[in-house]
Chains A and B, each alone.
Chain A
Amino acid sequence: MKDFIQFVFNGLSLGSIYALLALGFVVIFKATEVVNFAHGSILALGAYAISRFSFNSHINFYLSVLLGVAVAGLLALIIERGLVRTMAGRSVIAVSIMTIGVDLIVRTETTRRIGVDILTLSDPWRDHVVHFAGLLLPTARLAAIITALALLAGFFLWFKLSPFGVAMRASAEDAEAASLMGIRLGRISAVAWVLAGALAAIAGVFLTAFPSAGLDSGTGDVALRAFPAAILGGLDSTGGAVVGGLIIGVAEVLTAGYQSNLSFLGRGFDEVMPYVVMVAVLLVRPAGLFGTREATRV
Chain B
Amino acid sequence: MSEVAAARLETSADVAAARAVSGRRALALRAGVVALVALFPLALGTFDAAGQDFWLQSGAFAFAAMIGALGLTLLVGGAGQLSLAHSFYVAVGAYGYVYLSSPTHEKGTTIASSIQAGAGFPTLLAMAGAVLIAGFAGLLFSPISARVRGIYLGVASLGLVFVGQHIAFNAQSLSGGFNGRDVPEVNLLGFNFDSTPLSFLGVTFTRNGKLWYLGLAGVVLAYVYYVNVLRGRPGRALRCLRDSEVAASVLGVNVVRYKAYAFTLSSMYAGLAGAIYALVYHHIVPDTFGLGLTVSFLAMIVIGGLGSPGGALVGALFVSALPAVLAKYSDSLPFIAPTGSGGVTAGVAAQFVYGAAVILLLVFEPGGVASLARRLVRLVSRIRRSPHPPRQKEAA
Name A's B-contacting residues (CB within 8 A).
35, 83, 86-87, 90-98, 100-105, 108-109, 112, 115, 224, 227-228, 231, 235, 266-269, 271-272, 275-276, 278-279, 282-283, 286-288, 294, 296, 298
Given contacts A87-B362, A94-B1, A101-B359, contact A283 B298 (CB under 8 A): no
- How far apart are the CA atoms of A231 and B152 in the complex, in Å? 7
Contacts A87-B363, A94-B3, A279-B159 known; 13 new A-B pairs at CB < 8 A:
A35-B151, A91-B1, A101-B358, A103-B355, A104-B351, A105-B352, A105-B359, A112-B342, A227-B158, A267-B170, A268-B170, A278-B159, A294-B149
Given contacts A231-B155, A268-B169, contact A101 B355 (CB under 8 A): yes
CB of B39 closer than 8 Å to a CB of A: no
Shortest CB distance A104–B (Å): 4
Q: Which of B82, B148, B356 contacts A93 (CB 8 A)?
A: B82
CB of B310 closer than 8 Å to a CB of A: no
- How far apart are the CA atoms of A108 and B154 in the complex, in Å? 23
| Residues in B neighbouring A95, C-beta threshold 8 A | 362
- How far apart are the CA atoms of A245 and B84 in the complex, in Å? 22
Given contacts A266-B166, A272-B162, A286-B152, contact A100 B295 (CB under 8 A): yes
Please indicate which of the listed interface residues B82, B152, B155, B362 has the most CB atoms of chain A within 10 Å of its own CB: B155
Interface string of B130-169 (1 = CB under 8 A from A): 0000000000000110011111101110110011001101
Whether B342 contacts A286 by the Cβ 8 Å rule is no
| Residues in B neighbouring A93, C-beta threshold 8 A | 1, 76, 82, 150-151, 154
Which A residue sits closest to B342, measured CB to CB? A115
Shortest CB distance B286–A (Å): 12
Q: Which of A103, A112, A235, A271 contacts B151 (CB 8 A)?
A: A235
Which A residue sits closest to B76, measured CB to CB? A93
- How far apart are the CA atoms of A87 and B250 in the complex, in Å? 31
13 A-B pairs within 8 Å (CB atoms) are namely: A94-B4, A101-B357, A104-B355, A105-B355, A105-B356, A108-B351, A112-B342, A231-B155, A231-B156, A275-B158, A282-B147, A283-B147, A298-B250
Which B residue sits closest to A115, measured CB to CB? B342
Secondary structure class of chain B's binding surface, majority of residues: helix
| Residues in A neighbouring B143, C-beta threshold 8 A | 283
- How far apart are the CA atoms of A114 and B4 in the complex, in Å? 38
Whether B169 contacts A112 by the Cβ 8 Å rule is no
- How far apart are the CA atoms of A93 and B167 in the complex, in Å? 29
CB of B277 closer than 8 Å to a CB of A: no
| Residues in B neighbouring A269, C-beta threshold 8 A | 166
Whether B298 contacts A276 by the Cβ 8 Å rule is no
Which A residue sits closest to B3, measured CB to CB? A90
CB of B34 closer than 8 Å to a CB of A: no
Given contacts A91-B2, A108-B351, contact A97 B149 (CB under 8 A): no
Whether B358 contacts A98 by the Cβ 8 Å rule is yes
Whether A98 contacts B363 by the Cβ 8 Å rule is yes
CB of B309 closer than 8 Å to a CB of A: no
Whether A282 contacts B344 by the Cβ 8 Å rule is no
Q: Which of A91, A94, A275 contacts B159 (CB 8 A)?
A: A275
CB of B336 closer than 8 Å to a CB of A: no
| Residues in B neighbouring A275, C-beta threshold 8 A | 158-159, 162-163
Please indicate which of the listed interface residues B144, B150, B363 has the most CB atoms of chain A within 10 Å of its own CB: B363
| Residues in A neighbouring B155, C-beta threshold 8 A | 35, 227-228, 231, 278
Which B residue sits closest to A93, measured CB to CB? B82
Q: How many A-B residue pairs have CB under 8 A?
A: 133
| Residues in B neighbouring A91, C-beta threshold 8 A | 1-4
Secondary structure class of chain A's binding surface, majority of residues: helix
Q: Number of B residues contacting the other chain (C-beta, 8 Å)?
A: 47
| Residues in B neighbouring A101, C-beta threshold 8 A | 299, 302, 355-359, 362
Please indicate which of the listed interface residues B2, B299, B302, B362 has the most CB atoms of chain A within 10 Å of its own CB: B362
- Which 4 pairs, one residue from A and one from B, show the smallest C-beta to C-beta distance? A275-B159, A266-B170, A101-B358, A104-B355
- How far apart are the CA atoms of A87 and B150 in the complex, in Å? 18
Interface string of B287-314 (1 = CB under 8 A from A): 0000100010011001000000000000
| Residues in B neighbouring A87, C-beta threshold 8 A | 362-363
Q: Which of A90, A96, A112, A278 contacts B344 (CB 8 A)?
A: A112
Which B residue sits closest to A269, measured CB to CB? B166
Whether A104 contacts B363 by the Cβ 8 Å rule is no
| Residues in A neighbouring B383, C-beta threshold 8 A | none
Shortest CB distance A40–B (Å): 10
Whether B362 contacts A97 by the Cβ 8 Å rule is yes
Interface string of B355-379 (1 = CB under 8 A from A): 1111100110010000000000000
Whether A112 contacts B362 by the Cβ 8 Å rule is no
Shortest CB distance B87–A (Å): 13
Whether A283 contacts B144 by the Cβ 8 Å rule is yes
Q: Which of B149, B152, B159, B246 contacts A298 (CB 8 A)?
A: B246
Whether A96 contacts B154 by the Cβ 8 Å rule is yes
| Residues in B neighbouring A279, C-beta threshold 8 A | 144, 156, 159
- How far apart are the CA atoms of A279 and B323 in the complex, in Å? 35
Given contacts A93-B82, A267-B170, contact A286 B358 (CB under 8 A): no
| Residues in B neighbouring A271, C-beta threshold 8 A | 162, 166
- How far apart are the CA atoms of A224 and B165 in the complex, in Å? 15
Given contacts A267-B170, A278-B156, contact A100 B147 (CB under 8 A): no
| Residues in A neighbouring B342, C-beta threshold 8 A | 112, 115
| Residues in A neighbouring B82, C-beta threshold 8 A | 93
Given contacts A105-B355, A224-B291, A283-B143, contact A268 B166 (CB under 8 A): yes
Please indicate which of the listed interface residues A92, A96, A101, A282 has the most CB atoms of chain B within 10 Å of its own CB: A101
